[in-house]
Amino acid sequence: MSLVDKVKAKAEHLKPRVNECAIVVRPLPLIADEIISAGEDFYFKVVFDPTDRHLVALEPAQRLELMKGPFARGALVILAIHKPTDKAIGKMWLLSESPVSGDGKRGLLPIQLAKDEIFLFDLWVHRDFRRNAVGITMAFEMGAAVDQFFPQARWVYGYAHVDNEASMQLMSLVYGMWTVQTMKEYEIGDYHVGMVPNSDSPKFGPFSKRGRHSGAGFQMPGRPRTGEMARDYHHPEGFARRTVNDAELSDGWMWPGPEWFDTVHPKGSDGKPARPETLPREI
């Protein structure tokens, strides 16, 4: 490829790409008559650590570096691991807090989350395992992890490109989510994303600047709390009301307290400046 062709390809890659997206939602905790299993060849991992070996093998190094800030603010990944190959074959990226200014360059859309909401912004299962119930099992593992580590969460948002029929069917028929808002997303390069101004419809939802959680009873589109359509979407019981004892936890990257460069460094049990192994992290 000539230099001119390389420049043209680079320019084409940086051209903004616009997609119409559906914002979907469902209540938490997840419930079912029985726990669906993907089989004995798989196990699941709850990852709070961008240096986790399975995550590092799955994701580009640039993305993991960009996501260190969101990880420090409560981002997590649910991984599906294939035991025979010891490789991650499925992933769910989630945010437990709203993105901050500049997170669009890290691949995060500017959703405004309430304290009882989380956002599922990336979902993938390897095509060779899409008939093994990995996706639905991973969703219930996500529900169990959120139930344990973010018990205040009552709603999980997701999104899909409207023209991606497979994703829309997955969200609706398999995950039981319904559309509450639409918006237009722009993408530049590999990771820079954002919302096209004034593309949110209706102007009252997680991607709107005004009217968020306002109105009688904090109503939101698609989830009325008053009137004939009101009902309790949440169930006090359900199999997701459990810990993630069956899943592996990867959370050794950060811990509470001052960082290494702070003036007041925490002491470990030996009285010396603490290290991760001498000052365990508590979630």
Residue 35's pLDDT is 67
Structural domain boundaries of the chain?
A: 15-250, 252-283
Mean pLDDT of the chain: 80
- Architecture category of domain 15-250 in CATH: 3-Layer(aba) Sandwich (3.40)
C-alpha 209/C-alpha 114 separation (Å) is 13
Mean pLDDT value of segment 250-277: 64
Mean pLDDT value of segment 200-212: 80
| Residue 230: pLDDT over 90 | no
C-alpha 19/C-alpha 168 separation (Å) is 14
Percent of the chain with pLDDT over 90: 32
Residue 191's pLDDT is 83
> Is the entire prediction scored with pTM above 0.85?
no
C-alpha 117/C-alpha 126 separation (Å) is 27
Mean pLDDT value of segment 214-229: 52
What is residue 26's DSSP assignment? E
| Residue 56: pLDDT over 80 | yes
Q: For residue 199, which phi and psi values (nearest 5 degrees)? A: -95, -5
Q: How many residues does the chain have?
A: 283
Q: SS3 sequence, 152-188?
A: CCCEEEEEEECCCHHHHHHHHHHCCCEEEEEEEEEEE
Label residue 276 by pLDDT band (50, 70, 90).
Answer: low
C-alpha 107/C-alpha 103 separation (Å) is 7
Tens-digit pLDDT profile for residues 99-128:
988 899 999 999 988 888 899 999 999 999
Q: For residue 54, which phi and psi values (nearest 5 degrees)? A: -70, -40
Mean pLDDT value of segment 45-66: 93
Mean pLDDT value of segment 221-247: 57
Q: Is 119 helix (H, G, I), strand (E, B) or coil?
A: strand
Q: Residue 205 belongs to what H/E stretch?
A: none
C-alpha 107/C-alpha 71 separation (Å) is 13
Largest separation between any pair of C-alpha atoms in the chain: 66
| Residue 8: pLDDT over 90 | no
Torsion angle (degrees, nearest 10) of CA 75, 168, 221, 71: 0
Tens-digit pLDDT profile for residues 114-173:
888 899 999 999 999 888 788 888 888 888 888 888 888 888 999 999 998 988 988 888
